[in-house]
Chain A
């Protein structure tokens, strides 16, 4: 692997890039998942930005974008989250009709590297930010057609972001209460310390 990196440096630009890419890929446990995690989002953004170069038809671009965003939503919710960070969220409907949102975190050892986790979170948050900038630009240009598309993009990415952040918080609170339990049992900390921890956790994660 490192031999490839050195060879890349000798062979010039394209060789260097490929070597870097494969280095990054080596650092990942789930290269295909990571690729798709990024691919659909990037495709949606690129189609939005450059679609008008290829087709003057608003409808085609809109539909393509929405389809890419929908695939991305499905991928992130069902595949990337589970594999790359061990989190998942879903909803169930109770009998009286109210919705129950469930968040789960994998307790066992996670088969993903820090690179996986980094790519997941960066890939989750950056496109939302980019779409928001597009949205502001669209409002200033008063083009409400595209604003519809941007609203859809923000809604879908927002849903995933909220879901996973809540997942993380749930995992955090469970960790905190687990730690507290341990501390109480071993008598390591006084009650005061336990209370402080709990209130800190509450403030950090409380909604």
Chain B
């Protein structure tokens, strides 16, 4: 968790002690937050969609990195991707408090860059150089889609 907050200090040793509890809690929190402010008929749909997108998205990005020849284990990678959702969690909290669209866009963008650079620090080094872009692109897609979900959800909040 500290590695996500301090992208400069991350190193491979911390990666050895992977655990999936952090990502589970973060994923549940994000899904709950986003479904809280959804219209009533859509609450369970939003929750389930966000949960599935985060889980399956992390799995797909991991499998992609593994197939490209990365030497990281499946669970380590899912762990990293899960922990890197944390900035987007912060973004969703800030966005749901409300504010004009530009502010929310800026917040989501900042947190998106934070997430991506934190996870790039891990994923980038584990894949052969000539394939790095191939491994990083799904990562961008993954965090972009989550950021987009946060932006849209906030738009229907009663405060904006």
Contacts of B31 in A (CB 8 A): 59
Contacts of A193 in B (CB 8 A): none
Contacts of A57 in B (CB 8 A): 43
Could you tell me the dominant secondary structure of chain A's interface residues? Answer: helix
B79 vs chain A, min Cβ distance (A): 11
Proximity bits, A53-69, B CB within 8 Å = 1, else 0: 00001110011001000
Contact residue among B28, B32, B35, B51 (Cβ-Cβ distance under 8 Å from A148): B51
Looking at A57, A66, A97, which has the most chain B CB atoms within 10 Å of its CB? Answer: A97
Could you tell me the dominant secondary structure of chain B's interface residues? Answer: helix
A66-124 contacts to B, CB under 8 A, are: 66, 70, 91, 93, 96-99
Contacts of A23 in B (CB 8 A): none
Q: Which residue of the partner chain A has the closest CB to B12?
A: A95
Known: A58-B44, A63-B32. A70 touches B72 (CB 8 A): no
Q: How large is the interface on B (under 10, 10 to 19, 20 to 34, 35 or more residues)?
A: 20 to 34
Known: A58-B43, A93-B73, A97-B73. A70 touches B48 (CB 8 A): no
Q: Are A98 and B24 in contact (CB under 8 A)?
A: no
The complex places the Cα of A144 from the Cα of B47 at a distance, in Å, of: 12
Interface size on A, residues (CB 8 A): 16
Contacts of B103 in A (CB 8 A): none
Q: Are B43 and A59 in contact (CB under 8 A)?
A: yes
Known: A58-B43, A145-B44. A63 touches B28 (CB 8 A): yes
A141 vs chain B, min Cβ distance (A): 15
The complex places the Cα of A62 from the Cα of B28 at a distance, in Å, of: 10
Known: A58-B44, A91-B75, A148-B51. A66 touches B28 (CB 8 A): yes
Contacts of A98 in B (CB 8 A): 71, 73
B45-79 contacts to A, CB under 8 A, are: 45, 47-48, 51-52, 70-76
Proximity bits, B123-140, A CB within 8 Å = 1, else 0: 000100000000000000
Contacts of A66 in B (CB 8 A): 24, 28
Known: A58-B47, A59-B44. A97 touches B71 (CB 8 A): yes
Contacts of B21 in A (CB 8 A): 70
The complex places the Cα of A99 from the Cα of B18 at a distance, in Å, of: 12
Q: Which residue of the partner chain B has the closest CB to A66?
A: B28
The complex places the Cα of A98 from the Cα of B126 at a distance, in Å, of: 13
Q: Are B47 and A93 in contact (CB under 8 A)?
A: no
B105 vs chain A, min Cβ distance (A): 27
B127 vs chain A, min Cβ distance (A): 11
Q: Are A59 and B32 in contact (CB under 8 A)?
A: yes
The complex places the Cα of A170 from the Cα of B111 at a distance, in Å, of: 47
Q: Are B28 and A99 in contact (CB under 8 A)?
A: no
Contacts of A148 in B (CB 8 A): 48, 51-52
Given A58-B43, A58-B47, A97-B71, 17 more A-B residue pairs with CB atoms under 8 Å apart are A57-B43, A58-B44, A62-B44, A62-B48, A63-B32, A66-B24, A91-B75, A93-B15, A93-B18, A93-B76, A97-B72, A98-B73, A99-B73, A99-B75, A145-B45, A148-B51, A148-B52
* A-B pairs with beta carbons under 8 Å apart, 8 shown: A57-B43, A59-B32, A59-B47, A62-B44, A93-B18, A93-B76, A96-B71, A148-B52
- Chain A residues within 8 Å of B, Cβ to Cβ: 57-59, 62-63, 66, 70, 91, 93, 96-99, 144-145, 148
